[in-house]
Amino acid sequence: MPVEDNLPPQRLSRIVETAGAALTLTAATIAALAPAGAPAAPAPRPAPGRRAPETPYYIMFTSGSTGEPKGVVITHGCLEAFLNWMQVEQALPEGEVFLNQAPYSFDLSIMDTYLALVSGGTIVSVTRHDVAQPKQRHAAFARSGLTVWVSTPSFAQLCLVQRRFAPALLPRLHRFLFCGEMLPHGVAAQLLDRFPEAVVWNTYGPTEATVATTSIRIDREVLTRHSPLPIGYPMPGTRVTVVDEGGRELPSGERGEIVIAGPNVSPGYLRRPDLNARAFFALDGQRAYHTGDWGRLRDGLLFCEGRMDSQIKLHGHRVELGDIESNLRALPGIADAVVLPILWEGRPDALSAFVVMTERGTEPDFDLGNRLRDQLSRRLPVYMLPRQFSFLEKFPLNANGKADRKKLAENLA
Ligand code: AMP
């Protein structure tokens, strides 16, 4: 169960408690077990034979709408189904060098790390500093020998801003694999222009269905035919359907919820029967998952059209706005809170919090906002902290008597 070491201690210990972990390893504990310079102990040989497919293999925690992160259990069978598919589809020879950009706590890292392990490749990790600093990033790329790029589209978009991001810097790079968020048409087009020898793949899937379930190679023809880009065809052995509110399969071309059924679907969230009953079910004898994504099939090709709920992708991070709202409401002096994304070119770029205080003192809005952000930083990771705070006496209400998010969003336009 990989967890980010820079999470606030409170959130980290809740995750560890939920998982009931018997042992935690940190860089420091590992260093203490094997002091630098000490001869390496011989690696224990794995027991012969296969693991039962139902054996849990890893658990990834993701943002949960009630403020509690939820642990997605992935079995050995799930991982095997995903890797077998990718290995055959991508036909990767031995000796590839994969980019590892996603932290290990984000399941995109499974794509690079495990594809490298099963194909006899290498991974090259970029650090947080490399991500933030172009100069350092270019130096890392220059010595990397990268051949297969694995990242969120956001990271590639960030790299494309620099002209140096080109074959002269990465001469062996021949493949881009994207997952985790919408691949903008312009990003794919720019990559094909900049790296004419490379192929670009868009893959789609939630953590709950083991990294990715659909894929498509984005070539010039796909770019000409589709905008926005499709997310692909399902992996063999997996059924992807689009259903209406009653769970009935919709005809081709109609918009509904994307449902995934197959051996790559998780058995559920750890110790959350309440959530599992809503999200997971059985379909024709296979495990199935309600993705919460709007989608549409056209001639067997799948398109993703955004979320049905208030989960967003913020610079590649999966964030439930309800997670931030619950944590805000838990702070002293807050009566109610709504968090909305601030959009840039149609995509979430930052967060804005609307807050009703139980009592409003004389503290200026700016200072109060900073104080709340500081308090929130003890509960939430940095990327989930709102940039903007607005204080209201009460929220405008919609016809259902709930805070009118649409009206509040007008303030962000
Ligand atoms: P995560 O579990 O962090 O991988 O997030 C899964 C969600 O990210 C999906 O349910 C989609 O909403 C979104 N997503 C993942 N891949 C894509 C893609 N290729 N295109 C559009 N949205 C995507």
pLDDT of residue 29: 87
The answer to pTM > 0.85 is yes
pLDDT band for position 45 (50/70/90)? low
Task: Measure 68 CA to ligand 1 centroid, in angstroms.
Answer: 20
- At 291, the amino acid letter reads T
Ligand 1 atom with the smallest distance to the CA of 318 is: 3
State the chain's maximal CA–CA distance in angstroms.
69
Ligand 1: which of 217, 266, 293, 294 to mutate, judged by most atoms within 8 Å of the beta carbon? 293
Task: Measure 139 CA to ligand 1 centroid, in angstroms.
Answer: 30
CA 128 to CA 302: how far, in whole Å? 33
pLDDT of residue 295: 98
Residue 215 has pLDDT above 70, yes or no: yes
Ligand 1 contact via 323 beta carbon (within 6 Å)? no
pLDDT of residue 412: 82
Ligand 1 contact via 295 beta carbon (within 6 Å)? no
Q: What is the pLDDT of residues 288-345, one digit of tens each?
A: 999 999 999 999 999 999 999 999 999 999 999 999 999 999 999 999 999 999 999 8
Instruction: Output the average pLDDT for the chain.
Output: 94
pLDDT of residue 97: 98
Task: Measure 318 CA to ligand 1 centroid, in angstroms.
Answer: 8
**Residue 331, token pair as written in the block:** 């702070």
CA 295 to CA 293: how far, in whole Å? 6
HSE-up (13 A, CA, CB side) for residue 70:
23
Nearest CA to ligand 1 atom 13: 181
Ligand 1 contact via 147 beta carbon (within 6 Å)? no
pLDDT band for position 356 (50/70/90)? very high
Mean predicted confidence (pLDDT) in 113-142: 94
Ligand 1 contact via 180 beta carbon (within 6 Å)? yes
pLDDT band for position 128 (50/70/90)? confident
Nearest CA to ligand 1 atom 14: 181
pLDDT of residue 398: 93
Q: What is the pLDDT of residues 249-300, one digit of tens each?
A: 999 999 999 999 999 999 999 999 999 999 999 999 999 999 999 999 999 9
Residue 41 has pLDDT above 90, yes or no: no
pLDDT of residue 9: 93
CA 413 to CA 405: how far, in whole Å? 13
* Closest to 364 (Cα-Cα) out of 336, 331, 329, 390: 390
Residue 50 has pLDDT above 80, yes or no: no
Ligand 1 atom with the smallest distance to the CA of 311 is: 12
Mean predicted confidence (pLDDT) in 61-85: 96
Q: Which residue has the higher pLDDT, 413 or 161?
A: 161
Residue 48 has pLDDT above 90, yes or no: no
Mean predicted confidence (pLDDT) in 63-69: 93
Q: Which residue has the tokens 């995750």?
A: 15
CA 208 to CA 71: how far, in whole Å? 9
Task: Measure 401 CA to ligand 1 centroid, in angstroms.
Answer: 31
Ligand 1 atom with the smallest distance to the CA of 258 is: 10
The CA dihedral of 91, 97, 98, 100, to the nearest 10 degrees, is: 160
Task: Measure 34 CA to ligand 1 centroid, in angstroms.
Answer: 38
Ligand 1 contact via 177 beta carbon (within 6 Å)? no
Mean predicted confidence (pLDDT) in 33-37: 71
Q: What is the pLDDT of residues 96-109, one digit of tens each?
A: 999 999 999 999 99
Domains present along the chain, CATH in parentheses:
51-237 (3.40.50.12780), 311-412 (3.30.300.30)
Nearest CA to ligand 1 atom 1: 206
**Residue 175, token pair as written in the block:** 């493949």
Q: What is the 3-class SS of the chain, one letter each residue?
A: CCCCCCCCHHHHHHHHHHHCCCCCCCHHHHHHHCCCCCCCCCCCCCCCCCCCCCCEEEEEEECCCCCCCEEEEEEHHHHHHHHHHHHHHHCCCCCCEEEECCCCCCCHHHHHHHHHHHHCCEEEECCHHHHHCHHHHHHHHHCCCCCEEEECHHHHHHHHCCCCCCCCCCCCCCEEEECCCCCCHHHHHHHHHHCCCCEEEEEECCHHHCCCCEEEECCHHHHHHCCCCCCEEECCCCEEEEECCCCCECCCCCCEEEEEECCCCCCEECCCHHHHHHHEEEECCEEEEEEEEEEEEECCEEEEEEECCCEEEECCEEEEHHHHHHHHHCCCCEEEEEEEEEEECCEEEEEEEEEEECCCCCCCHHHHHHHHHHHHCCCCCHHHCCCEEEEECCCCECCCCCECHHHHHHCCC
Mean predicted confidence (pLDDT) in 198-213: 98
CA 177 to CA 90: how far, in whole Å? 10
Mean predicted confidence (pLDDT) in 369-390: 97
Residue 173 has pLDDT above 80, yes or no: yes
Ligand 1 contact via 264 beta carbon (within 6 Å)? no
Contacts of 163 (CB under 8 A, 6+ apart): none
Ligand 1 contact via 257 beta carbon (within 6 Å)? no
Task: Measure 397 CA to ligand 1 centroid, in angstroms.
Answer: 31
Task: Measure 291 CA to ligand 1 centroid, in angstroms.
Answer: 9
Ligand 1 contact via 102 beta carbon (within 6 Å)? no
Mean predicted confidence (pLDDT) in 350-364: 95
Q: Which residue has the higher pLDDT, 96 or 130?
A: 96
pLDDT band for position 3 (50/70/90)? very high
**Residue 321, token pair as written in the block:** 């706005």
Ligand 1 atom with the smallest distance to the CA of 203 is: 19
Determine how many CB atoms are found less than 10 A away from the CB of residue 318: 18
Mean predicted confidence (pLDDT) in 167-190: 98
Ligand 1 contact via 279 beta carbon (within 6 Å)? no
Q: Are 389 and 373 in contact (CB under 8 A)?
A: yes
Ligand 1 contact via 283 beta carbon (within 6 Å)? no
Residue 141 has pLDDT above 80, yes or no: yes
Ligand 1 contact via 291 beta carbon (within 6 Å)? yes
Q: Are 342 and 387 in contact (CB under 8 A)?
A: yes
Q: Which residue has the tokens 């498509």?
A: 216
Ligand 1 atom with the smallest distance to the CA of 202 is: 19
pLDDT band for position 411 (50/70/90)? confident
